[in-house]
Structures are given as C-alpha cells and as structure tokens.
C-alpha cells in the first residue's frame, strides 16, 4: 500500500513538473469597453493525446478576484511551424483558490478558447503563449462579458506602450532604452562610440491622453564631436554608425534574424511579427529645435515600418528589396504646437507583392528628423519627440458581398440585410465576400430558413481578436441541406491541406496552408 501511494505521488509530481507558467500582459475588454492591461500568469500543462490543461492563475478584472480558472482537456494541433494551436472550444472551467465571487459562481465558469490561441517559439522567437478567450461572468448584480487576450502572439510589438525600460551601457556611458527597442547606446559600427557618447532616449514621464499607461519614450537629437548633428532615433532593430557622413548607407537601422547579439536586457535586435497588419497607429508629441538656415526646410519627424521575411534589411536602404512584404511611412510629421497627436499609417502591400515574401519580422524606426544629419545641435532646444502606444491595426470589415450575381449594398455600421426576388438553390459557390483586412479570415455559412436561407459572413481580423458578423436573409431559395459553411482568407489564391493536397475551401476542421494573391503564405486553423 505504501508503495502504491509513493508511486502515485511520484506520478503526480511528474505530471505537475510538465506544467509551465507564462507571464505576460493580459488585455481585457469588459462588455465591449477596453480595460487597463495588467500582468498575468497562465499555466499550460500537456497531457496525453495532445490534450492540455490551461490555468488562468488568480484571474481578476476591475479589481474583482475570480481565482484560478482551470480549463481541462483542450485539444490541439501541431502545425509544424514551431507552434501548437489550441482548437476552439467552449467548456465549463473549475474555479479554485478564489474569493466570495467564486462562491457566487458555484465554483465554475463557462470559458471559450478562441481561434488563434497557440503556444510555442516559432522559428526564431522565445517560447510564448497567446490566448484569446471569452468568459461571461454572471453575478447577482449583472453579467460581465469578458474578452481577454494574453500576450502579443507576434501580432503586436513588444513594449508598445513604452512602460518598461532598462539601462543600456556603452563603455562608461549609459542611457534608458525601452525594452525591445534600441538607440545609439546599443549601436554597432566603426563610429558607435561617438554617437553613444550622449544619451538620446529618456523615460517620458507623461503618457498620451487616455492611455492606460503612465510613461512614454522621449527621444532627442544631439551632436557628435561637439558640432555634427545626430538625429534622435529609436528602432526595433539595431542602430549602425558606420560612416562620418550622416547620409551614408552605412548609417542605418537594420534587422537580421542571423544577428545573434542581444541588448543589455537580453532582447534580440529584431521584432517578430507574423501577422499582416493593415496600418500602424501611434501617438506622438513633437517639437523641432533650432535648425540652421540651410536646413530650415527639414522640419519633419519620421516614422517608418517595414515588414520583412526576417532576412537582412536596413533603413534607409534598398527601396524595393526582395525580402520586403509591406511598408508604412510617414516622413512629414509636424510639430502641431507640441501637442499629442494620433497618426495612422497604412501599409503598402501592393508595391511588394511580386516579392512573394512571407511576413516574419518588423523593422520600425522613429527619428526626430526625416533627413539624416540636419537636426538641431542646440543643448537647450534639441529636436524632441515623445512616442506612446504604438498599435498594429488589423481590419475586419466586409467591403464587398455578392450573392447569386447581386451585389449587396453594404452600409457602414449595418450588419443585417435582406435579398428578395431569388429562387432555386443557393450554394457556397454563389457567394463572393471581400474584406478590408490584408489577412482577414472570412467564414461563410448558409442555413435553411422558413423564408429561404440565411447567409452569415464572419470577418475575423488577422490577429484573430475581432470579428464582425453580417447576416443576409435570401428569400425564395434553399440550400438542399440544413447548413453548409466554408472559410477563406481575404485575397486567397490557393488552399492546401497540411499534406500538400489542394482543396477548394476549408470545409473540414484542421490546419490549412493558404497562399494569397500577394504571394504570401499563412496558416489557418479551421474549427
């Protein structure tokens, strides 16, 4: 008996040892209203048959502690890309170590694990967890519909709110650089010691209006050798100072997955982005310093974002390099009386579609002057830009819908439509849907209705976070079956199963390889 107990204890310990805790930012939307992000811990434990137990440790919202929420036996698929994808599921989850609220809930809550949830390191990243979940919390004084996103999933830039900084050192010089971002103190190149002699980045002790955070990053211009202008710059890549002439291509920001160096915080000099963002939104507060008479026309700050396949790329650099997927650029940012302003910059995919490159990395570079080497050298009035809350935006709005040769007149904000005067059968081949998201996922279904058939189109953003649902009642038709559905990706060219077989649509559950018309390739998990 003692032996059996010992063996059972050892088995339990072994099982527990397989659990891994992930600490990351948890962004909660409560009844449609965004809440302040917080740090959270989720534990993931793999069992047999690709089943996982997932525990939201000490889950809370608005100061209300729920407790440890345990979702057992979540099925998964290994896509062969370094990630394990959790299959969407709605389950009753037990609550333990909770508060009085847990008792109100009867020690359980219904949780939905959504499409896109995954764990793994991918090809070049650190082992991370990305969870998209929903849990309605029904309390006596009201029901709270909680949507939660844990981690970035390589869809957003790390430390995009500039709340976290570390001390970067070059020789005897130091400066505060934002985590996952870099400036001249972590510079490389023959002239790195010169540009690193003066700090260019500082903790911004103010945040943009309405921010959930309390900080930003402050970037200022400086000078080299006492008189040569040096624009203040931050980048998700690494700065290189390779020439005394500012406009020389050896002076740049660059990324390269083969670059194995890390900064003083242990972060690599690249940012992994595997999504297809439609635009970059950023808050800035800019003030130009003192310019010389010959440089009076160079009065703009600049923000650029280049989506690449992870191979070497530098900015400024080759305007149409073969590894570029898309670019976003605004090099006309004006002072606006040194007030905070939100800038939205669309990504241009069309100009680089022939590259057939797959999105894997993002090089963002922000500088106090769009022209190299012309900024203010004044100690009292340098060029200065505050940056806060960068967001990669993924669109999910239906822009075109045709049913049986008839275009549906879509209206902004309207999701319910009726199509009269139809007859005969209605199949999925009779429906064409288009969305404004570069990588938006479109799921179309037809279900018999006593008046005909209901066509439902769900448009999900490429990061899997947001979904818009459109319904069209098509009168006078039938489907022949109770319900049919399929999934496509916006701009799809071809769809393949994991074993390489080409199919017309994603009718069955599983992981599909989708090649788009722009040449890029994405994986789609269809439930």
Query: pLDDT by residue (tens digit) across 209-242?
Result: 999 999 999 999 987 765 577 899 999 999 999 9
Residue 144 pLDDT more than 60?
yes
Residue 39 pLDDT more than 80?
yes
Neighbouring C-beta atoms of residue 428, cutoff 10 Å: 17
Mean pLDDT to the nearest integer, 244-252 = 89
pLDDT in tens, 440-455: 999 999 999 889 999 9
- Our CA angle for 400, 29, 55, nearest 5°, is 115
Alpha-carbon span 276 to 154, nearest angstrom: 10
Mean pLDDT to the nearest integer, 492-502 = 64
Q: Which long-range contacts (CB under 8 A, 24 or more apart) does 103-107 make?
A: 104/139, 104/140, 105/66, 105/137, 105/138, 105/139
What are the start and end residues of each CATH 2.40.128 domain in the chain? 2-150
pTM over 0.85: yes
**Termini Cα distance of the chain:** 46
Q: 165-393 in CATH: which number?
A: 2.60.120.890
> What count of Cα atoms within 13 Å lies in the side-chain half-sphere of residue 448?
9
For the record, the structure tokens of 118 come out as: 């995954």
Cβ atoms of 123 and 111 within 8 Å: the answer is no
For the record, the structure tokens of 27 come out as: 């962004």
What are residue 234's DSSP bridge partners? 366
Q: 2-150 in CATH: which number?
A: 2.40.128
Alpha-carbon span 311 to 324, nearest angstrom: 9
Residue 518 pLDDT more than 70?
no
What are the start and end residues of each CATH 2.60.120.890 domain in the chain? 165-393
For the record, the structure tokens of 375 come out as: 């900024």
Alpha-carbon span 12 to 45, nearest angstrom: 12
Poorest-pLDDT segment among 37-51, 312-326, 377-391 = 312-326
Q: Which long-range contacts (CB under 8 A, 24 or more apart) does 220-224 make?
A: 220/368, 220/382, 220/383, 220/384, 221/289, 221/368, 221/369, 221/375, 221/376, 221/377, 221/382, 221/383, 221/384, 222/198, 222/377, 222/382, 223/198, 223/377, 224/191, 224/194, 224/195, 224/197
Q: Give the chain's mean pLDDT.
A: 88
């Amino acid at each position: 008996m003692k032996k059996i107990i010992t063996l059972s204890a050892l088995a339990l310990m072994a099982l527990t040892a397989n659990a891994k805790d992930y600490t990351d930012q948890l962004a909660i939307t409560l009844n449609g209203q965004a809440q302040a992000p917080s740090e959270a811990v989720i534990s993931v434990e793999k069992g047999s048959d690709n089943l996982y137990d997932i525990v939201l440790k000490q889950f809370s919202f608005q100061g209300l502690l729920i407790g440890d929420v345990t979702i057992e036996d979540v099925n998964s698929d290994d896509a062969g890309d370094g990630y394990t994808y959790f299959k969407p599921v709605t389950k009753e989850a037990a609550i333990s170590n909770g508060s009085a609220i847990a008792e109100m809930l009867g020690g359980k809550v219904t949780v939905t694990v959504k499409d896109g949830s995954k764990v793994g390191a991918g090809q070049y990243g650190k082992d991370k967890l990305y969870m998209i979940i929903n849990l309605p919390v029904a309390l006596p004084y009201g029901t709270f519909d909680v949507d939660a996103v844990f981690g970035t999933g390589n869809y957003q830039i790390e430390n995009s709110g500039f709340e976290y900084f570390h001390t970067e050192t070059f020789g005897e010089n130091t400066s505060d650089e934002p985590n996952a971002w870099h400036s001249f103190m972590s510079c490389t190149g023959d002239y790195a010691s010169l540009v690193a002699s003066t700090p260019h980045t500082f903790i911004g002790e103010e945040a943009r209006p309405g921010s959930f955070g309390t900080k930003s990053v402050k970037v200022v211009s400086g000078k080299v050798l006492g008189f040569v202008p040096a624009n203040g710059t931050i980048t998700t890549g690494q700065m290189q100072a390779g020439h005394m002439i500012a406009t020389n291509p050896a002076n740049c920001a660059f990324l390269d997955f083969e670059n194995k160096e890390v900064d003083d915080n242990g972060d690599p000099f690249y940012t992994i982005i595997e999504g297809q963002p439609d635009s970059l939104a950023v808050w800035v507060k800019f003030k130009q310093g003192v310019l010389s008479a010959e440089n009076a026309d160079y009065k703009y700050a600049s923000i650029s974002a280049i989506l690449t396949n992870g191979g070497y790329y530098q900015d400024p650099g080759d305007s149409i390099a073969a590894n570029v997927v898309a670019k976003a650029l605004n090099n006309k940012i004006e002072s606006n009386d040194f007030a905070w302003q939100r800038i939205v910059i669309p990504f241009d995919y069309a100009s680089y579609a022939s590259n057939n490159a797959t999105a894997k990395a993002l090089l963002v570079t922000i500088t106090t002057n769009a022209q190299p080497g012309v900024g203010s050298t004044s100690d009292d009035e340098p060029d200065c830009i505050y940056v806060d809350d960068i967001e990669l935006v993924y669109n999910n709005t239906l822009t075109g819908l045709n049913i049986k040769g008839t275009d549906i007149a879509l209206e902004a904000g309207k999701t319910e439509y009726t199509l009269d005067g139809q007859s005969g059968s209605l199949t999925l081949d009779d429906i064409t849907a288009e969305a404004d998201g570069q990588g938006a996922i479109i799921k179309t279904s037809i279900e018999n209705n006593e008046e005909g058939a209901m066509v439902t189109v769900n448009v999900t953003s490429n990061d899997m976070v947001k979904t818009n649902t459109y319904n069209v009642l098509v009168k006078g038709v039938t489907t022949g079956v109770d319900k049919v559905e399929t999934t496509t990706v916006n701009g799809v060219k071809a769809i393949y199963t994991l074993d390489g077989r080409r199919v017309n649509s994603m009718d069955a559950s599983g992981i599909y390889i989708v090649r788009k018309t722009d040449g890029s390739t994405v994986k789609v998990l269809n439930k």
